[in-house]
Amino acid sequence: MTEFAAIAAPAAPRSAELIDGKAMAATIRGELRETVAKLAANGTHPGLAVALVGEDPASAVYVGGKIRACKEIGIRSIEARLPADTTTAQLLELIDQWNADDNVDGILVQLPLPRGLDTQAVVERILPSKDVDGFGADNLGRLAQGRPRLVACTPWGVMEMLKRWGQPSGWTPAGKRAVVIGRSITVGRPMALLLLSADATVTICHSRTPDLASAVRQAEIVVAAAGQRHLVQGDWIAKGAVVIDVGIHRGEDGKLTGDVDFATASQRARAITPVPGGVGPMTIAMLMANTVSACRQRRGQGV
């Protein structure tokens, strides 16, 4: 054997473990189906009302997915499709009707709304007890206080993914350095609050953050929710980090990609979510979970 033959060939880069949100979401829907069946046996039937204003194709797809999930789980659904010229006053009137309807446990107005509508007024008009999107000031404030009631579905879905993925090995966010990229009230801010509640040390980064790459390289958990395709490069990821990609973008070839360059990041991360099939399915699953929780809370049956 020659000296060179004795030297082992370099090992191929090891790909990260995939965190399969699609499979997790299916499990959660199954759990919720059992819960809803038990509630129905006692005469309680959770109900979700969904409003779609305008004809945005992506929003229509999202609403369709939510209605199908309701049907699968056994949640009663009410769908209102309103024209793009609907006024804020008309939309608020519909919300008031649903607020007063005891058969409606959750209210969701699909965002974004067409231009000219007052999104903040619409979000705040929904009763906090029926705010299954978790975007209202009351529910966000309770989350900041560490007293969550109804939590924004995407960040809650991320936490559920981390919990279920980490359980077999005993991995948790506690004590980990986490970086959240994005500061929206729909994802970034509640995400940071949830990670803080899980005892992670959290840094929020955004468009004005200097040297974003340096911040990400220090993170053991990366949640990318910036809305910019392939913003996060693979060499930014610390070896062994857990990467959650909330972004979703359709390329010119029709394929969906995220905020993270998956091909390169997956060679360094310990675990990573795919796009599609990662966070997206979990968001709808947690909306269903919020609806069931709202139903039980409103009827004094706990969460």
Q: Give the model confidence (pLDDT) of 208-263 as tens digits.
A: 999 999 999 999 999 999 999 999 999 999 999 999 999 999 988 989 999 999 99
Residue 85 designated active-site: no
Q: What is the pLDDT of residues 139-181, one digit of tens each?
A: 999 999 999 999 999 999 999 999 999 999 999 999 999 999 9
Q: Is 133 a catalytic residue?
A: yes
**CA angle at 69 for the pair 221 and 45, rounded to the nearest 5°:** 115
Q: Let me know if 167 is a catalytic residue.
A: no
CA angle 102, 295, 108 (to 5 degrees): 80
- Rounded Cα distance, 223 and 216, in Å: 10
pLDDT value of residue 254: 87
Chain mean pLDDT for the chain: 94
Average pLDDT of 100-110? 97
Catalytic residue among 20, 105, 131, 133: 133
Domain at 44-132, CATH class: alpha beta
pLDDT computed for residue 8 by the predictor: 42
Tell me which of 20, 110, 130, 176 is the catalytic residue.
110
Give 14's pLDDT tier (boundaries 50, 70, 90).
low
Instruction: Determine which one of 66, 130, 131, 261 is catalytic.
Output: 66
CATH topology identical between 44-132 and 153-280: yes
- 153-280: CATH architecture: 3-Layer(aba) Sandwich (3.40)
Domain ranges of the chain: 44-132, 153-280
pLDDT of the residue at 104? 98
